[in-house]
Amino acid sequence: MLMPPFELHRPGTVEEACKIAAELLEAGHEFDWIAGGTDLIPNYKWHINSKPHVISLSGIEGVSQISMNEIGCMARLHDISESDQVHPLISEAASKVASSLIRRNATLGGNLCLDTRCFWINQTEEWRSSIDWCHKCDCGTGADCRVIPNQNELCVATYQGDIAPNLMVLDARVHLIGPNGERDMPITDFYQLDGMTRNVLQPGEFMLKVTLPDDVSDWTGAYRKLRLRDTWDFPEAGAAAAWRKGDRSTLRVATTALESIPRRHDTEVAESNGDVKAICDAVYNSTKPVNNTSLPPRYRRNMIKVLIKRACEE
């Protein structure tokens, strides 16, 4: 598992990062951003869509802030999970990501921009070569998707990040910046239902920070996660619920690890008139996980009802 060679760029400011990105784009060079590297480096070692240039966000000043209403992209998950400045739902979710060692490096931005996963792609290059590749990293062969066969236009790899559904139920906004300026949007609009495109980031753009509404501390909730080993595994299904303290009519529910994007279930909640069992059934009916993670999709789909019920019971 030798790392492919790449040129590392280390900007010290946001402006410098945007300038390097613009120059690389203009010269026609592909690149990736790197934050903690806990996801990108294993993918590079397995030669999954590695790029000749990598821009590190770790030397940029002022992007690690942690407060109730704002968290910078380079805030480490360990610091978020230990902080009493951050909303308890977010620190709970951060504490459930991977292992303590990984959380020391892993960042909020990297977690939200995490690559999607699938057992046909998260393998060594030799293994993938032995099955003649798949659409997500086809090595110029035009290979089909192995999960939805006979097509090479859509990748249904699964988004397995823990923090996004929790930010969704707290109405967070993501702030993006790049050579064409800054923009922000609700985090519910950030993800795109394609395991390769993943999100709405344009070439050269990166996630700068996440902001939360002024009244976020009036909200409470819980996050429940299904995984193989509690010590470090990715979610096989996850459910976040939040409501304004003392007012269950404000209930919001979001899920992760069931499809290529995390999703907030406003329609299912509204149509169920706040009845938790009806919400569980409605989300069960509207989600159809595919067979590309460790646990069988039928089990994950059944478990989402249990996870939502437990998150709401809190």
Judged by the rule CB under 6 A, the positions of this chain that interact with ligand SF4 are 118, 120-121, 134-136, 145-147, 155-157, 195, 292
* Nearest to ligand FAD of 120, 234 (CB atom): 234
Window contacting ligand FAD (CB under 6 A); options: 79-87, 146-154, 233-241, 246-254: 233-241
Task: Give the sign of the dihedral formed by CA 195, CA 201, CA 207, CA 212.
Answer: negative
Query: C-beta of 246: minimal distance to ligand FAD in Å?
Result: 31
Burial 201-229 (b: 16+ CB within 10 A, else e): beebbbbbbbbbeeebeebebbbbbbbee
Kindly tell me which residue out of 20, 34, 170, 210 binds ligand FAD, with binding defined by CB under 6 A.
Answer: 34
Kindly tell me which residue out of 102, 196, 295, 306 binds ligand FAD, with binding defined by CB under 6 A.
Answer: 102
How far does the chain reach from its first CA to its final CA, in angstroms? 44
Does residue 72 bind ligand FAD (CB under 6 A)?
Answer: no
Window contacting ligand FAD (CB under 6 A); options: 18-26, 102-110, 185-193, 212-220: 102-110
* Nearest to ligand SF4 of 146, 305 (CB atom): 146
Query: C-beta of 235: minimal distance to ligand FAD in Å?
Result: 6
Looking at residue 132, its amino acid is: D
Site string for ligand FAD, 185-204 (x = CB under 6 A): ----------------x---
Binding partner of 46, given ligand FAD, ligand SF4, none, CB within 5-8 angstroms per partner class? none
Does residue 110 bind ligand FAD (CB under 6 A)?
Answer: yes
Residues 148-177 touching ligand FAD, rule: CB under 6 A, are 161-162
CB of 218 within 8 A of CB of 291?
Answer: no
Give the residue among 47, 21, 19 at the shortest CA–CA distance from 32. 21
Interaction site with ligand FAD (CB under 6 A): 32-40, 42, 57, 73, 77, 97-98, 102, 105-107, 109-111, 113-115, 161-162, 201, 206-207, 232-235
